[in-house]
């Protein structure tokens, strides 16, 4: 059984970097946990987190709720960039 925290991390509306998380995990699994083999994946994940954190902070400053856009909203935001 998954903890509430683990469920949140698997929720597309809460975690905008789910695909990057999964790709990084798969790379680590496939490469016997040699981090240097997965540098690109870590970078993509880091960039994803940085991007959405910026959006979240902007929304927080502007009083927009929820602070993290839903998966559907995020899709539109990404299309406009």
- What is the spatial distance between Cα 73 and Cα 69, in angstroms, rounded to a whole number? 6
SS3 of residue 2 by DSSP: coil
Q: What is the pTM of this model?
A: 0.84
Considering only residues 71 and 43, tell me which one the structure prediction assigns the higher pLDDT.
43
Q: Give the mean pLDDT of the chain.
A: 93
Summarize pLDDT for 3-20 with one digit per residue, the tens: 888 887 788 888 899 999
Asked if residues 27 and 41 have their Cβ atoms less than 8 Å apart, the reply is yes
Read off φ and ψ for residue 25, nearest 5 degrees.
Answer: -60, -45
What total of structural domains would you count in the chain? Answer: 1
């Amino acid at each position: 059984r998954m903890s509430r925290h683990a469920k949140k991390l698997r929720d597309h509306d809460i975690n905008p970097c789910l695909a990057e998380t999964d790709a990084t995990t798969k790379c680590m699994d496939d490469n016997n946990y040699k981090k240097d083999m997965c540098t690109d994946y870590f970078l993509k994940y880091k960039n994803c987190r940085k991007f959405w954190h910026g959006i979240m902070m902007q929304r927080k400053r502007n009083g927009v709720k929820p602070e993290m856009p839903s998966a559907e909203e995020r899709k539109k935001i990404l299309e406009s960039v």
